[in-house]
Amino acid sequence: MLECYQFRDMSILEHGLSVAAWFRDLHGHLASGSPLAGRWRLPDWIYDPILVHKLLDANVLEIYQVYHDCGKPFCRTVDSEGQQHFPNHAEISRQRWLEHSAATEDCRQIGRLIGMDMDIHLLRSDGLEEFARRTEAISLLLTGLCEIHSNAEMFGGIESTGFKIKWKHINKLGRRIIELVRREAGEQTS
């Protein structure tokens, strides 16, 4: 993970550590009101209390976030134009994690999260209800938001078109996911 690069001079491991740091920043802000350290573009639904309430265990989430791309070095390809690709990296990362981790329930949960890591980024409206029923839905949503902030430099910053496209997608999905999670829990949307 240290010798495979996500972006220029950011290794896969450094990217995972970055995602976890963005998440700690956001979680601290949402859970206790601490000021944000990073340069965020927050969606309007971010302060819904159900987000903190429905998160999985913080230690499990941090390990997942650090190692979510652990399989990328094993599926990396480079095309004729020199662009790298990581086909099926979420599944390969899940498999690698499970091969090299303890057989505990926490490690199995981390493996499930790793395997679902790309789901929020690839999610379309016809899959929203199934996604929102998952116990991992809110954790994956907030991690996805942290991932696009961690990768913002790759897109040219948070003002870039690339970042804005990814942010708009997660913003739209997030609003709907929260509505569905609240409906499933029998709560009113705030």
Both tokens assigned to 4 = 């495979």
Nearest to 15 by CA among 132, 93, 83, 123: 93
Q: What would the pLDDT profile of 74-96 be if each residue is shown by its tens digit?
A: 888 889 998 888 889 999 999 99
Give the N- to C-terminal CA distance of the chain in Å, as an integer. Answer: 41
- pLDDT band for 52, please (50, 70, 90 cuts): very high
In this prediction, residues 148-154 reach a mean pLDDT of 89
Task: Give residue 6's pLDDT.
Answer: 74
**Whole-number pLDDT of residue 96:** 94
- 190, pLDDT greater than 70: no
The rounded distance, in Å, linking the Cα atoms of 39 and 174 is 20
| Average pLDDT over all residues of the chain | 92
Copy the structure tokens of residue 78: 């480079």
Q: Which domains does the chain have, with CATH numbers?
A: 5-36+46-185 (1.10.3210)
**pLDDT of residue 107 exceeding 80:** yes
User: pLDDT tens-digit profile of 108-143?
Assistant: 999 999 999 999 999 999 999 999 999 999 999 999
Q: What's this model's pTM, rounded to 2 decimal places? A: 0.91
181 to each of 53, 98, 177, 186, how far by Cα in Å? 11, 29, 6, 9
Residues 64 and 113: beta-carbon distance below 8 Å: yes
Residue 121: what pLDDT?
93
